[in-house]
Amino acid sequence: MDEEERVRVLQGIRLSESVVNRMKDCSQPSAGEQLVPGFGPSSSAPVPTVPLPAISVPTVPAPTTPVPTAPSSSVRGLPGGTCKGPLTDVKVPSAESGGGLQSSAVKEDLKKFQQEQLAVQDEMVRVAKKEKEAAEKHLKASLPKKKASLTHEQQQSARLARELEDREAELSRRDTFYKEQQGRIQEKNAELYKLSSQQFHEAASKAESTIKPRRVEPVCSGPTSPDPPLLPGPSA
């Protein structure tokens, strides 16, 4: 506040001279209302208007945590009076009210956090349920395909087994046939060999019977020369 402004201190509140004059100009209050001592008229006699001396009050720095007392209704002006221009109310929150506001804000934040946490949990449960339903649906849809594929594989395995059995039977039949043919060939060869040997011996015997032996003498004979070998002569 400016140092040259005239002020007056009332119950810890500094009031300017114009405010004090307006308070004095107000009409008398009703019987049921309470008056501020030193300003309102008493029951015995009215209070005379006394001009206030000019007081120069230096500016006092406000405390770190000021807790001013709010002015009462009688100081601001009575309800039944004709006071012009009400006083200005300056409401400064106290330390207790600030603590209450802070605690209420903390409670609101905690409540919001709990609500958000519940919403997140509900969302997680919903997503897990949805994924489980999708997995079950996919499993149910894939079961017929798996059964069909298994049936096809079983049919293919049975077909291959039948083909293998048929090939084994064919190979066994061919083996039996080849063995029979080989036995027949061996028997035929033995018969041919026996017939050829018999014919050879007959031809040799016939040739020996038709050829006569002939004695051959050497041209130069000596005392010690052996007998000349016999040579076969011409046939008769």
pLDDT tens, residue by residue, 21-45: 777 776 445 444 444 444 444 444 4
Between the alpha carbon of residue 232 and those of residues 210, 217, 225, the distances in Å are 11, 13, 21
Mean pLDDT, the chain, rounded, equals 69
Q: What's the rounded mean pLDDT across residues 106-115? A: 88
pLDDT score at 24: 77
Is the predicted pLDDT of residue 182 greater than 80, yes or no? yes
- Give, in order, the Cα–Cα distances in Å from 159 to each of 121, 139, 163, 165, 179: 56, 30, 6, 10, 30
Pairwise CA distance, residues 47 & 20, whole Å = 14
Q: What is the pLDDT of residue 49?
A: 52
* pLDDT at 212 > cutoff 90: no
Q: Is the pLDDT of residue 214 over 50?
A: yes
Give me the mean pLDDT over the 67-82 stretch. Answer: 45
The Cα–Cα gap between 167 and 174 comes to: 10
Residue 185 confidence (pLDDT):
94
Tokens of 234: 């011409």
Q: List CB contacts of 4: < 8 A, sequence separation 6 or more.
A: 56
CB atoms within 10 A of CB 50: 7
Tokens read off for 83: 């006071």
Q: Which of 65-79, 148-162, 167-181 has the lowest mean pLDDT?
A: 65-79
For position 108, what pLDDT does the model report? 87
Reported as half-sphere exposure (CB side, CA atoms, 13 A), residue 232 has a value of 9
Can you tell me the mean pLDDT for 117-144?
88
CA–CA distance, 101 with 145 (Å, rounded to integer): 66
Residues 138-156 pLDDT 10s: 888 877 777 777 888 888 8
**Higher pLDDT among residues 147 and 90, named by residue:** 147
Q: What percent of the chain is predicted at pLDDT more than 90? A: 24
